[in-house]
């Protein structure tokens, strides 16, 4: 029988834990100050050089951002985005070894109205971030989330994508930038103060967020609205690139939660380095090679300021949302198995979809909310169709209310202006028109314009009437174009027709 006093018990109990007293693995001289992974020990100076080199290497290797291009940095105040801001700030300094060559700008989306912050708390948070932004010398913009209610419908319409440049164009752009940079002078930084937010807009935004039943759908809807506002700000201010601060840990959580939410077809755009679904504005993620642990060590060692802002999942339980539950699962697994995040992250680089890319997809083949290619055009014998059939059979509604009512299925009671032959039908001011073009789309009408993941989000809403007007207007426009196409479909040529047969 095994005894506790056996000698081998002492040998098994000893573990070779990583120690910061060992030498740096790079310079082999100074004592290690930080241990990133088992065996990766760096001193203070080598860790700083390693951190900076990784950021500039990913930008130089991809060559997505051309010299002189305007880049908008989305800074939320968190550790990752503030660390990204510090890297850009140091990369543009005169003492930088490999100097960055783009023109940065900063934007902060104030989401305090959506999470229930008071006006005083929102002003205090904005003031703290303005101190950080002014120290950089970059132009910055503070945009409240309430402005998403007044966005134009062009936000959910992709802009004209720039033509693909040859490899020699990058070197030519570098030479032009070097020649022009010596003769230009930096002007005073521009800043836009946060506009006064009307209390009615805050209440409308809170009703929109409150109309979503589950926290999972709220997080998904809030991320979509935030992305729309970022793209609109970049377009209106003349920025062609949008730089996001998503790190490796965040992308690993996002990958697993997106699969759970039915967004597997959009993983290449949601977790890749560049995302060109909006055409004229390309989103890049230069922090995707950094783990949350590396960023925390760097910010602590080199005094990178950050501002903590509450979110929708603040002070919530672990099982309140899929995103929160996935984050807890990944972080706890990472604590016991340090290769968890890197394995998930490297797997995301290999995932591709057989569907058409978002840049090549037609507008009618794009999701109304996330702007990715629709994944709902599946074959009859598929898991997606089986899910739809099961959902239709489980509906408890009356048979008189179809799941996907057509644009002419719901006729108003009483005399209508359409039947009376009024000439100004559908053009009357106000919301009391009886014309079908003036009606708000129902949930069933929107589902044909959404991908599977966005369909799940809209399904959790009590009413789609709370959605911003630019989304409802674009939905009505697409439905009218689809109806018109069905009416003239017999006069259209198929894609496979050669056009040279018959007369």
Domain boundaries, given as residue ranges, for the chain: 64-165+186-353
Structure token pair of residue 28: 């082999």
Kindly list the distances between the CA atom of residue 458 and the CA atoms of 208, 220, 465, 467, in Å, as whole numbers in the listed order: 11, 10, 11, 10
Residue 267 scores a pLDDT above 70:
yes
Residue range 324-370, pLDDT digits in tens: 999 999 999 998 888 899 889 888 777 765 544 444 446 667 899 99
Considering only CA atoms, which of 288, 239, 282, 289 is closest in space to residue 104? 239
CA-CA distance, 81 to 149, in Å (whole number)? Answer: 25
| Cβ(63)–Cβ(170) below 8 Å | yes
What are the pLDDT digits (tens) for 178-230?
A: 767 644 445 455 666 666 788 899 999 999 999 999 999 999 999 999 999 99
Residue 242, φ and ψ in degrees, nearest 5: -120, 115
Question: Which CATH superfamily hosts domain 64-165+186-353?
Answer: HUPs (3.40.50.620)
CA 398 to chain centre: 38
Residue 304 CB partners (closer than 8 Å, separation 6+): 79, 82, 83, 86, 298
Q: How confident is the model at residue 44 (pLDDT cuts 50, 70, 90)?
A: very high
Ramachandran category for residue 40: left, alpha or beta (phi over 0 → left; psi -120 to 50 → alpha)? beta
Q: How confident is the model at residue 314 (pLDDT cuts 50, 70, 90)?
A: confident
How many C-beta atoms surround the C-beta of residue 228 within 10 A? 21
List, for residues 400-430, the tens digit of each pLDDT value: 444 444 444 344 444 444 444 444 444 444 4
**In the structure, what pLDDT confidence band is assigned to residue 272 with cuts at 50, 70 and 90?**
confident
284 versus 494: the higher-pLDDT residue is: 284
Q: Quote the tokens at residue 109.
A: 């989306």
* CA Rg value for the chain: 27
> Coil, strand or helix: which one is 242?
strand
């Amino acid at each position: 029988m095994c005894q506790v006093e056996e000698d081998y018990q002492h040998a098994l109990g000893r573990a070779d834990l990583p120690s910061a007293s060992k030498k740096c693995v790079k310079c082999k001289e100074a004592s290690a100050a930080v241990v990133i992974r088992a065996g990766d020990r760096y001193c203070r100076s080598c860790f700083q050089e390693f951190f900076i080199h990784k950021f500039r290497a990913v930008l130089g290797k991809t060559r997505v951002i051309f010299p002189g291009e305007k880049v908008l940095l989305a800074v939320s105040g968190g550790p990752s985005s503030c660390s990204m801001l510090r890297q850009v700030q140091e990369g543009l300094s005169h003492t930088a070894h490999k100097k960055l060559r783009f023109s940065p700008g900063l934007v902060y989306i104030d989401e305090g109205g959506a999470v229930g912050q008071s006006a005083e708390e929102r002003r205090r948070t904005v003031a703290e971030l303005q101190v950080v932004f002014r120290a950089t010398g970059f132009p910055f913009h503070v945009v409240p989330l309430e402005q998403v209610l007044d966005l134009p419908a062009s936000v959910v319409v992709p802009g004209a994508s720039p033509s693909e440049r040859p490899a020699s164009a990058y070197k030519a752009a570098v030479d032009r930038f070097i020649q022009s940079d010596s003769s230009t002078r930096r002007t005073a930084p521009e800043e836009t103060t946060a506009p006064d937010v009307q209390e009615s807009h805050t209440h409308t935004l809170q009703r929109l967020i409150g109309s979503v039943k589950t926290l999972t759908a709220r997080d998904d809807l809030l991320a979509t609205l935030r992305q729309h506002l970022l793209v609109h700000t970049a377009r209106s201010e003349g920025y062609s690139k949008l730089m996001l601060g998503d790190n490796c840990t965040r992308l690993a959580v996002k990958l697993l939660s997106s699969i759970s939410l039915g967004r597997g077809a959009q993983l290449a755009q949601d977790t890749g380095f560049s995302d060109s679904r909006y055409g004229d504005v390309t989103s890049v993620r230069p922090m995707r090679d950094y783990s949350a642990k590396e960023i925390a060590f760097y910010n602590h060692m080199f005094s990178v300021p950050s501002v903590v802002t509450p979110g929708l999942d603040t002070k919530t339980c672990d099982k309140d949302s899929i995103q929160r539950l996935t984050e807890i699962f990944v972080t706890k697994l990472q604590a016991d198995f340090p290769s968890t995040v890197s394995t998930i992250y490297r797997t995301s680089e290999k995932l591709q979809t057989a569907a058409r890319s978002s840049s090549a997809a037609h507008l009618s083949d794009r999701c109304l909310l996330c702007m990715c290619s629709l994944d709902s055009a599946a074959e009859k014998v598929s898991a997606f169709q089986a899910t739809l059939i099961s959902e239709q059979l489980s509906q408890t509604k009356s048979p008189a209310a179809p799941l996907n009512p057509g644009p002419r299925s719901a006729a108003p009671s009483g005399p209508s202006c359409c039947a009376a032959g009024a000439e100004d039908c559908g053009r009357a001011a106000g919301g009391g028109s009886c014309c079908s073009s003036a009606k708000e789309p129902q949930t069933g009408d929107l589902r044909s314009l959404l991908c599977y993941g966005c369909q799940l989000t809209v399904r959790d809403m009590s009413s789609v009437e709370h959605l911003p007007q630019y989304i409802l207007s674009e939905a009505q426009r697409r439905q009218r174009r689809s109806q018109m196409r069905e009416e003239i479909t017999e006069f259209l040529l198929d894609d496979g027709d050669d056009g040279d047969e018959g007369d």
